[in-house]
Amino acid sequence: MKNKLIAQFQAVFGRSPEFVTRAPGRIEFIGNHTDYNGGTVLGAAVDRNIWVAIARRDDGQRRFFSAQGGEIITMPSGIPEKQEGLSKWTNYALGVIAAFPHFGLKVPEGFDYYDMSDLPAGAGMSSSAAIELASVLAFLEITGQADKVDRETVVKIGKHAENHFVGMPCGILDQGVSGFGKKDHLVFIDCRGPVFATVPIPAGAHFWIFNTHKKHALVDGFYAARNRECMEAAKALGVPLLADANATLLDKAEAEGRLKGDALKRARHVIEEIARVGETQKALAKGDLAAAGRLLTASHRSSQYLFENSVEELDTLVDALVATPHVYGSRLTGGGFGGAVMAMTDAAFGGEQAAQVVAAYEKKYGAKPDVIHCQTGDGAAVM
């Protein structure tokens, strides 16, 4: 991929890039919507990435091009403005530039920028965080600031771009996993710190993604609504964040009528999901993939019925997968409201079993989900 990127950069811009960076997408293993609630989460960086090639310019012009198609987009130097229309895809990189001063960093001025991906967009694998982190590393290199910034700050810059420029009120899960990923490991994040650690995955676990192509509507309101509902539930419980609550406190608030309806359901999901993250860590430490799989499926049912961020198509896939031999468990991965489900399987689950799941889905909906067999990968890096 690196050589292909360099060749295409040369074809578009007529010279070689100075730096190439990449950042992986991620699987949200378990911990759905726990991150911005101050909870814990487990994720895995995958072996599919967004790549960025970059070279400085002396004239202050910023030129963007994507291998996904389109034309060169030229913008002036300075603090960027949010884009709409055909140039909207540049907002992830522009958000990083806009974030630099908030971290005491010099803003990159003129450059040629080219991105390329083997990470499917809209599959719940956080291509947005991947392009943000690859951009952070690229801009640090061309401004000579790479040695000043540790990995945690790289992650925080990406999150700042997503929250304050793109407009998604996400937690640190996506950027954290893309930044701290390690092959054959999960990334554990205590989001309150944040504190990052890696957790070995027992041998024999395989990950399959089934992408429905159902459109995400996260920035347009659903994600923001769930965020707001969670904050309101925390306030009703008298705690700063839902991670500060527990089942006893929740049951007491319900009995007293202080928390009910949707707010009660959202809080119950988050509190129980944080507990499931802890139980999953224990199961993995024992090498008990079957127990971990049951927790994954329980997580999906909670998303389906309590957090209500699943959709019928995702539920159909999970139902089919958990009924298939050699599947430990399955759940939606990512923010929900469309996108993809993940299945953790043993080595005996292969293309034939995946095709059966796809055929059942196609019979019901008249469309085929894409199937991606993923391996874990390393985090964002300068190549």
Place of tokens 């991929």: 1
Tokens of 114: 């080219």
Question: How far, in Å, CA of 121 to CA of 24, rounded?
Answer: 12
Question: How far, in Å, CA of 4 to CA of 116, rounded?
Answer: 9
Which entry of 35, 112, 115, 174 is annotated as an active-site residue?
Answer: 174
Which of 317, 334, 271, 330 minimizes the C-alpha distance to 46?
A: 334
Does residue 380 sit in helix, strand or coil? coil
Cα four-point dihedral sign 347, 353, 357, 358: positive
Residue 174: active-site member = yes
Tokens of 104: 């005491």
In this structure, the dihedral spanned by the alpha carbons of residues 294, 296, 302 and 308, taken in order and rounded to 10 degrees, is: -150
In eight-state DSSP terms, residue 376 is: B
Report yes or no: 361 and 33 within 8 Å, Cβ to Cβ: no
Q: How far apart are the first and last CA of the chain?
A: 11
Cα four-point dihedral sign 298, 299, 305, 310: negative
With a CB cutoff of 8 Å and minimum separation 6, the contacts of 212 are 313, 314, 317, 338, 339, 340, 341, 361, 367, 369
Place of tokens 């996904």: 68
What residues act catalytically?
Answer: 174
